[in-house]
Amino acid sequence: MKNFIFQNPTKLVFGKGEIARLSELLPDNVNLMITYGGGSVTKNGVYDQVKSALKGRNYIEFWGIEPNPHVETLRKAIQRGKEHHINYLLAVGGGSVLDGTKLIAAGIVADEDAWDIVLSGAAEEQIPFASVMTVPATGSEMNGAAVITKAETQEKYGFGGDYPQFSILDPEVTYSLSDHQIACGLADAYTHVLEQYLTTPGQSRIMDRWAEGVLLSVMEIAPKIKTNSRDYDLMADYMLAATLALNDFIRMGITQDWATHQIGHELTALHGITHGHSLAIVMPGLLRVLKKQKHAKLLQYGERVFGIMDGSEEERVDKAIAMTEEFYRSLGLTTRLSEEGIGNKTIETIARRFNERNVAYGENRNVTGDVTREILKSCS
């Protein structure tokens, strides 16, 4: 096990009706700005619940943070926040609204342009922020990361910083999600775990077991949700799984991969593919290309998650990868670039970008632009 430092201070407030606690969770006398997405919260009742919970409080609202939040939009929110001396932010929406809010929280107290904060990789300072999370997927509600898109140049990068002060998760707000949103959310959560699990073998028995525990849970609930996305306990398991998949709990003392995310971000930036969907396309290809490096972990994954016990080691590894792709497809997602009309031009663009940035992703820092080309060809 590697040495590690773990600290996750976010207060998780989980369960039906908990949005009503908003006012007691927020400090008194803060200059509050509430951030929203495109308006789905006005249809599913969340906006009314928030307004009702904050009756008697003063705050301003910022609307219009889009999926894969654009720095161009967030600059306007930062400007607005500076003008109103905002010192506390509340994101109401999905991972994109919260990710965008994390950048607003940094931009309000910074002199530099918001995109420079993203490019620096880490926010030096942020005003406190919290969330009412409505889309289980990214884990942003209990972690210190955010991913921002620059629409002008079709670039998408992540940066790190503070954790939310609190996040309210009411599974009932997920009842209005579309099938595609749920499919992408489940794919996102599942892939977050694989990025932290399918790496170096033998680092921590408990981290392995906990990663497998999230995978097994997501696999078990996914088909059930398809026929009953208004089953409270089912949606509670889904919501909690998405949070626990990316809140640092399953990565103590272990190496991590994240190459699939880096490649997926490019597909989203260039073609607008939903984040979770982009991962479902890239992950199986990455596993096919890196199966020798990930051999031991793929064997363990096949046995413990899919129950693959028969055949040669290579056959079992291949089967584990095939079943991973099959799982993504079972969610209703495509898993090949050709199915999305993406061809060689995009593959070469991404390979060139990675080579120009001289990056090397993955747990062994060997996923270069050239290896990425190979991975994307395997996803064609």
Q: In angstroms, how far is CA 127 from the centroid of its own chain?
A: 22
> If binding is defined by CB under 8 A, does position 186 make contact with its own copies?
no
Least separation in angstroms between residue 133's CB and its own copies is 14
Nearer to its own copies, 12 or 108 (CB): 12
| Alpha carbon distance 232, 291 (integer Å) | 38
Q: Closest Cα partner for 96 from 190, 16, 181? A: 181
Least separation in angstroms between residue 258's CB and its own copies is 21
> If binding is defined by CB under 8 A, does position 11 make contact with its own copies?
yes
CB of 140 closer than 8 Å to CB of 12: no
Nearer to its own copies, 194 or 221 (CB): 221
> If binding is defined by CB under 8 A, does position 17 make contact with its own copies?
yes
Least separation in angstroms between residue 15's CB and its own copies is 3
What long-range pairs does 330-335 form, CB within 8 A, spacing at least 24?
A: 330/222, 330/223, 331/183, 331/186, 331/187, 331/222, 331/280, 332/179, 332/180, 332/183, 332/226, 333/183, 333/184, 333/187, 333/276, 333/277, 333/280, 334/277, 334/280, 334/281, 335/280, 335/281, 335/284, 335/379
> If binding is defined by CB under 8 A, does position 9 make contact with its own copies?
yes
Cα separations in angstroms, 309 against 29, 190, 229, 321, 326: 60, 22, 33, 14, 18
> If binding is defined by CB under 8 A, does position 361 make contact with its own copies?
no
Q: How many residues in total does the chain contain?
A: 380
> If binding is defined by CB under 8 A, does position 16 make contact with its own copies?
yes
- Quick one: which segment of 110-118, 203-211, 294-302, 323-331 binds its own copies (CB under 8 A)? 203-211
Least separation in angstroms between residue 318's CB and its own copies is 26
The residue type at 198: L
| Alpha carbon distance 377, 368 (integer Å) | 14
Question: Site for its own copies (CB under 8 A): how many residues?
Answer: 43
Least separation in angstroms between residue 221's CB and its own copies is 7
> If binding is defined by CB under 8 A, does position 23 make contact with its own copies?
no
| Alpha carbon distance 143, 228 (integer Å) | 29
> If binding is defined by CB under 8 A, does position 18 make contact with its own copies?
yes
Applying the rule CB under 8 A, the residues between 95 and 154 that interact with its own copies are none
Applying the rule CB under 8 A, the residues between 251 and 280 that interact with its own copies are 252-253
> If binding is defined by CB under 8 A, does position 379 make contact with its own copies?
no
Nearer to its own copies, 30 or 219 (CB): 219
> If binding is defined by CB under 8 A, does position 8 make contact with its own copies?
yes
Binding-residue pattern over the window 283 to 302 for its own copies, x denoting contact by CB under 8 A: --------------------
Q: Closest Cα partner for 134 from 215, 19, 237? A: 19
Nearer to its own copies, 16 or 365 (CB): 16
Binding-residue pattern over the window 228 to 247 for its own copies, x denoting contact by CB under 8 A: ----xx--xx--xx--x---
Nearer to its own copies, 165 or 368 (CB): 165
Least separation in angstroms between residue 253's CB and its own copies is 6
Nearer to its own copies, 17 or 56 (CB): 17
> If binding is defined by CB under 8 A, does position 19 make contact with its own copies?
no
Q: In angstroms, how far is CA 298 from the centroid of its own chain?
A: 23
Residue 84 C-beta-side C-alpha neighbours within 13 Å: 20
| Alpha carbon distance 328, 203 (integer Å) | 27
| Alpha carbon distance 99, 73 (integer Å) | 12
Least separation in angstroms between residue 212's CB and its own copies is 7
What residues does 167 pair with on adjacent strands? 12, 131
| Alpha carbon distance 74, 64 (integer Å) | 9
* 22 token code pair: 């908003």
Residues engaged in binding its own copies (CB under 8 A)? 1-18, 171, 202-206, 209-210, 212-214, 216-217, 220-221, 232-233, 236-237, 240-241, 244, 249, 252-253
